Amino acid sequence: METDGFPGAIPENTLLRLRCSVKNYDWGRIGLESRAARLYSLNTGEEVREDMPYAEFWMGTHDSGPAYVAGPVTGGGKENDSLTLKDLIRRNPTLVGEKVVKTWGPDLPFLFKVLSVAKALSIQAHPDKELAARLHKEQPEVYKDDNHKPEMALAITDFEALCGFISFEELKLVVQTVPEIGEVVGSVHVEEVLHVNAHEMDENAKPILQSLFTTLMSASSNVVSQALTKLISRLNIKCEARELTDKEQLVLRLEKQYPGDVGVIAAFLFNHVKLSPGEALYLGANEPHAYLFGECIECMATSDNVVRAGLTPKNRDIKTLCSMLTYNQVFPEILKGDALGPYTKRYSPPFDEFEVDHCALPRLATTVFPAAPGPSIFVIMTGDGMMSTRSSNEAVSEGDVLFVPANTIVTVSTTATGLSLFRAGVRSSYE
């Protein structure tokens, strides 16, 4: 293996320590309440500011938050901090394996993150490859690459999200019990929803839902503001007479976070998904979603492409979002993970770019991660132990992030304490 730019020879199958990046988006948890912040501090030695939000801990080669190679695990240090993992891979493409280079080039096809969510992220969707290419060509300053961005969120605390549209039967109930929606979209759209019967649903549901949603999201700020004022007042009165539904309570929360935002009303149209630790949600192209609260591991195809339309101060592209959605009305599949052994579960969404393993290793235990066709990134979440390959035998602890080259067997063991880690890599079944 060539090591141009990296001092000293790196034997094959060597573990490489990474110094990773953090994002301080305003929806992140504050200071040490944020797991992203704690991991970042342990990983880099940087102090955490108690007055600053820490939203995302990035582990990968994305130009907006690259990981730097701090050297082989032994010795660590910052002598190579100017060398990004992306640069190292480009100079040594064998690190990611022949299959990855053939499909995605000399780079990681995935981006690995830890998210700490204090308030809702934007209502958004990610374009498929065809749409991503067109958006990048037409608006390169907004859509900065031509790749799709399927992603998965794996809960590490209780985690909430909006994802996909509610069923048509639920939608009928919503337009009857939330009159403010009718005030925004008009009675014609409400009547269209109410007059669709079960036999016509497959044929007519999507265009009717699309028309209603597009009208709602495109409404003027004055109309939305007036409707929200009525909605919040009505719910505050209702809560004195009865317990509000989960969705009603959520809407009150969202209105405090994003007052006057059309996304607050739109939340009634989406599935409210609650994940327990160890459950995962995957998000395909052109599906609307918004993370609401909690902490999760996130993995995605490497891309910046996000089309936003609500619950955000950022740029909105309502026309594109409303035209691109699938308008499927099903509750999303919740992944529970497939056991690979007594300590490890694998989460495999239907995308070639990535899979995620979670390993909870008790004290005095050992497990083996088989050689994978592509590279892996490991992050140690809690505890400490040893990670070994054919040419490395190194101590690891909370906050360590390790790059493992393709076709490398990794053994993890513990002594007096246990260890919890996550691994991201290209799908093992990828051919």
Q: Is 292 helix (H, G, I), strand (E, B) or coil?
A: strand
Same domain, 306 and 367: no
Same domain, 359 and 328: no
Same domain, 200 and 298: yes
| Residues of the domain holding 403 | 342-425
Long-range contacts of 185-191 (CB under 8 A, 24+ apart): 185/212, 185/215, 185/216, 185/219, 186/215, 189/215
- As for how many domains the chain has, the answer is 2
CA distance 44 to 36: 12
* 9 domain-assigned: no
Same domain, 326 and 232: yes
Question: Look-up: residue for tokens 């690259």?
Answer: 66
The one-letter amino acid code at 386 reads M
Residue after which a domain boundary falls, among 268, 303, 335:
335
CA distance 360 to 203: 47
* 191 domain-assigned: yes
CA distance 3 to 394: 21
b or e along 296-310 (b: 16 or more beta carbons within 10 Å of the residue's beta carbon)? bbbbbbbbbbbbbbb
pTM of the model: 0.92
CA distance 317 to 311: 13
Residue after which a domain boundary falls, among 335, 360, 389:
335
Q: What is the DSSP string of 354-373?
A: -EEEEEEE-TT-EEEEPP-S
Rounded percentage of the chain residues whose pLDDT exceeds 90? 76
Same domain, 357 and 330: no
The one-letter amino acid code at 296 reads C
Residue 357: give its domain's CATH number.
2.60.120.10
Residues contributing to the annotated binding site: 124, 126, 151, 289
pLDDT at 72 over 80: no
Closest CA to 162 of 275, 40, 24, 314: 275
Residue 298: give its domain's CATH number.
1.10.441.10
Which H or E run includes 299?
strand 289-301
* 360 domain-assigned: yes
* 143 domain-assigned: no
What's the confidence (pLDDT) of residue 73?
42
Same domain, 420 and 346: yes
Same domain, 414 and 329: no
What's the confidence (pLDDT) of residue 429?
75
Q: Where are the beta strands (DSSP E) in 302-397?
A: 307-310, 334-335, 338-339, 344-347, 355-361, 366-369, 376-388, 393-397
Q: Catalytic positions, please?
A: 308
Question: Is the CB of residue 115 less than 8 Å from the CB of residue 291?
Answer: yes
**Banded pLDDT at 174 (limits 50, 70, 90):** very high
Mean pLDDT of the chain: 90
What's the confidence (pLDDT) of residue 431?
58
Bridge partners, 289 (sequence order): 124, 163
CA distance 343 to 290: 31
Same domain, 325 and 398: no
Q: What is the pLDDT of residues 260-314, one digit of tens each?
A: 999 999 999 999 999 999 999 999 888 999 999 999 999 998 877 788 999 988 8
Same domain, 206 and 291: yes
Residue after which a domain boundary falls, among 335, 352, 385:
335
Closest CA to 261 of 316, 332, 343, 198: 316
* 195 domain-assigned: yes
Q: What is the DSSP string of 83-149?
A: SBHHHHHHH-GGGT-HHHHHHH-SS-SEEEEEEEESSPPPEEE---HHHHHHHHHH-TTTS--S---
What's the confidence (pLDDT) of residue 70?
87
And the tokens for 185?
Answer: 């979209």
CA distance 42 to 422: 16
What's the confidence (pLDDT) of residue 329?
92
pLDDT at 76 over 60: no
Same domain, 294 and 360: no
Residues contributing to the annotated binding site for Zn(2+): 124, 126, 151, 289
Same domain, 217 and 291: yes
* 170 domain-assigned: yes
Same domain, 311 and 385: no
